Structure 1
Amino acid sequence: MRPTLRHLEYIVAIADTGQVGLAAAQLNVSQPSLSSQLSEVETELGVTLFQRGRTGAKVTPAGEEVVRRARRILYEHQDLRAAVKGGGIFQGRLRLGVLPSIGPYLLPGVVKRLHKDHPSFRLIVREESTRDLSEGLRTGRLDMIISTPEDHPGARSTYLFTETLWVAMARDHLQARQTAPLPLEALADQTFLTLSPGHRLSHIVAGLSARAGGRVSDEYEGTSLDAIRLMAATGAGFAILPSIYAAVEARRGTDVCLRALKDPTAKRDIALIQPALPDPRMGSDILADVLKSEAQVILKH
């Protein structure tokens, strides 16, 4: 009966790589064999899954639903095998999506601990915007994500920690002469620097800017926290940074002055999020505990 699990792996690999040749190499099969298998599955299903041409293989509208369901079936199959072995997520591969404003600063310690306790565990990390993380979780491209829970309604969320927000400014700015938390009203008429609109942080910063009577820069949208911190160091404006990043930068000896932002809305909750299946994936509670613990280590300094 087609499609088999192997056929589903073929379909997902082609969707991920966008090339039949690359998918064949990834799966260790010949390109003619993969093309033949794909054609047979398309005939069996009665739909064209990929529009193939010189530029690659693009998923068709009908194929999008098949790819989404194929990911889900493979996910469930992998979960079944892990459950039989008794190790849950630590018996296989986990595709973890994470906000780029968190991943590089939180995950190094987490990965080190997980690999020490679970040497066979394969963790694949993807840093993406809030919008892309949502798409990845919905389509099955990602197994779990670390993100802001309000942006993923209907999913299963496990609270991890709350980040307060900090203000980074040039060292020669008048506000840099003090170290106490900075009231939001002190930023009236100032320029706020933040990430592009695809990130939840940019929406939080826009709200803070409006309440302060400032403005979000329309001349510069950062692609990373490092980028907006560097712009703040030049005096181009005030960068609003989450606390894990700020804590890591403070220990490095940063090129900006960092002051906590004193406002009840200057914060964001972070959660481990997975699809809303009847039960959470076995082992996800252990992963959540490790993430919480590592965050506490970083934030207490």
Structure 2
Amino acid sequence: MTPSLKQLRYFVALAETGGFGRAAETVFVTQPALSQQIRELETILGVGLVERLPRGIRLTRAGREVLERARRILSEVADLERAARLSRGLTGRLRLGVIPTVAPYLLPGALTRLRAQDLTLDIRVREAQTEALLDDLEAGRVDAVVAALPLPDAGLAVEPLFEDRFVLAGTRARLARWSRGAGARRPAELAPDQLLLLDEGHCLADQALEVCGLRERGRVDLGASSLATLAGLVAEGFGLTLLPEIALRAERAAAPGLSLMRFAGPEPARKLALLYRAGGDDGWSAPLAALLRDAGAELLGSARAVCP
């Protein structure tokens, strides 16, 4: 007998979650069923893969070796499935990863356009930070990722989408005090203690620090987990922040006390792109990128109406 793909998937889930109960939930089976499959896999391979502890499991040395190879096998199988699924272009199932500072703003328009093009398209979306999405992309758990450049060179194909400019946000009074009638100013003139950022790990927080020429956060840091929370904080007078243009329409509507100000040119911006595994394009990346650009153009047009 040889190990089945199901057994390998169950084993990877067990290794990644650290417990039979959590692994069973991940793969949607009962704990006894998963435990039986793991024991059968150990019997087939003739070696113990996990040490069963009172609170979880620990991989044996053989288990660590099998885990590495199982992940590689499952990634290759995912590539095979994706190639067959997308062989006719943008059809079948699409698994798309999107970073949190893009997903709530770009996805509604993008998904509407995707559905209009093909009602049979099965779209699965994962929203997570860049590092997690790149891991998913490498492992074949998603087909493509929308993220901000630059990124580490990981052998990925890159389809540029659009430039998303940053706008200064806060209350009308705070923005007036900061500008002091001098008109548009530059991000580097912002004091660190005035600037509120997203929690660490969000690429947008790192980009905000970079465009402002700052090496670290200010002493008073009300880091937020989402742009919506951040916009709500500054709308109530808790400092200033940078918002990307694609978020302006939604966050201005949600926080009426939010005022916006453009920076002096050249305006700071991030570059968004569609990423996918090199050699994994079977005619679907170009139409997907075009739909994303179209949705982005609509958002950018509305942003420039909200904040000329």
- Give the secondary-structure state (helix, strand or coil) at the position aligned to 1:151: coil
- Give the secondary-structure state (helix, strand or coil) at the position aligned to 2:195: strand
State the TM-score, normalizing by the size of structure 1.
Answer: 0.81
- The verdict on how the C-alpha distance between 1:241 and 1:88 changes in structure 2, with shifts beyond 3 A counting, is same
How far apart are residue 223 of structure 1 and its match?
A: 0.8
Unaligned runs of 5+ in 1: none
How far apart are residue 54 of structure 1 and its match?
A: 5.7
- The verdict on how the C-alpha distance between 1:37 and 1:188 changes in structure 2, with shifts beyond 3 A counting, is closer
Counterpart check, 1:283 vs 2:280: no
Q: Which residue of 2 aligns with 1:249?
A: 251
- The verdict on how the C-alpha distance between 1:126 and 1:22 changes in structure 2, with shifts beyond 3 A counting, is same
Contact map agreement 1:190 1:238 (CA 8 A) in 2:
no
- Give the secondary-structure state (helix, strand or coil) at the position aligned to 1:147: strand
How far apart are residue 132 of structure 1 and its match?
A: 1.9
- Give the secondary-structure state (helix, strand or coil) at the position aligned to 2:199: coil
Q: Render the CA deviation track for 1:160-206: whole Å, top value 9, x for unaligned.
A: 11111111011222248979644335524652111122122112221
Unaligned runs of 5+ in 2: 303-308
Q: Which residue of 2 aligns with 1:225?
A: 227
- Give the secondary-structure state (helix, strand or coil) at the position aligned to 2:210: helix
Q: Render the CA deviation track for 1:236-285: whole Å, top value 9, x for unaligned.
A: 22111111012433456642111123354721111111122x24244122
- The verdict on how the C-alpha distance between 1:246 and 1:120 changes in structure 2, with shifts beyond 3 A counting, is same
State the TM-score, normalizing by the size of structure 2.
Answer: 0.80
Which stretch has the larger CA shift, 8-17 or 135-144?
8-17
Contact map agreement 2:170 2:234 (CA 8 A) in 1:
yes
- Give the secondary-structure state (helix, strand or coil) at the position aligned to 2:142: coil
Q: Which residue of 2 aligns with 1:91?
A: 92
Contact map agreement 1:79 1:89 (CA 8 A) in 2:
no
Q: Render the CA deviation track for 1:95-140: whole Å, top value 9, x for unaligned.
A: 3221111000100121122223322322222221222222222333
- Give the secondary-structure state (helix, strand or coil) at the position aligned to 2:167: strand
Q: Which residue of 2 aligns with 1:137?
A: 137
- The verdict on how the C-alpha distance between 1:286 and 1:45 changes in structure 2, with shifts beyond 3 A counting, is farther
Q: Structure 1: how far apart are the matches of 2:55 and 2:125? A: 27
Which stretch has the larger CA shift, 184-193 or 156-165?
184-193
Cα RMSD of the aligned pairs, angstroms, is 3.4
| Residue identity (%) | 30
Match of 2:241 among 239, 242, 259: 239
Which stretch has the larger CA shift, 132-141 or 100-109?
132-141
Q: Which residue of 2 aligns with 1:113?
A: 113
Q: Render the CA deviation track for 1:198-235: whole Å, top value 9, x for unaligned.
A: 12211222123336x99645532111111221221232
- The verdict on how the C-alpha distance between 1:283 and 1:217 changes in structure 2, with shifts beyond 3 A counting, is farther
Q: Which residue of 1 aligns with 2:275?
A: 273
- The verdict on how the C-alpha distance between 1:123 and 1:56 changes in structure 2, with shifts beyond 3 A counting, is farther
The one-letter code matched in structure 2 to 1:226 is A
